Structure 1
Amino acid sequence: MTKRECAIVTAYTGFSMLKGNDLGHLYRYLSGFIGRPVYSHEIPAVAEAYREQIKQDFLALCRNATDTEVDADG
C-alpha cells in the first residue's frame, strides 16, 4: 500500500495509518480538496465536508486491490 493510499484510508476511516513525517501525505491529500494547505485542527472538518469524494477514492482502492501478497521479508 502506498503512503497516498494510507492517507485515503486514514481520511475515510479516521484511523491513522501514518505517523511522523508520513502525515504529510494526509495533509497533501486533504489539501487537494480545499485548494490550500490544511491545518491539523481542520482535518476532521475537511474529511467530513468531502466525505463522499473520499469515499469514492476509498472504494476505488478496494476495487483495484490485487491478490498479490508481499513476503514479510521483502
Structure 2
Amino acid sequence: MPIDRGKSSNRRAWARWALRWGVPSAAIALGSVWVVQPDSGVSAIAVAGVALTALLVFVGTMPRRRPPVEPRARRGAGGTE
C-alpha cells in the first residue's frame, strides 16, 4: 500500500497551525466578549474590533493547501539510459 506523503505533511502543518494560531485566536475572539461583557456602544465596538482582528489573524495564518508531492523516480531504475 503506497504512503501518501503529502497528506501526512499537510496534516502536521494543520496541527502546528492549530496549536500556534488557531486555538489562541479563537480563545481571544470568544474570551473578549465573555470577559468584557460590553454594556455600552463604545465597549461593544471595541470588543467587536478585538474579535474581528483575532478572526483575521485566524484566517490569515491558515496553512495553504499543497498538492501531494510526487515521489521522484530513482536514477537508473527504468533501465533506459
- The TM-score normalised by the length of structure 2 is 0.29
More relative contact order, 1 or 2 (CA 8 Å, 6+ apart): 2
- Bigger CA radius of gyration: 2
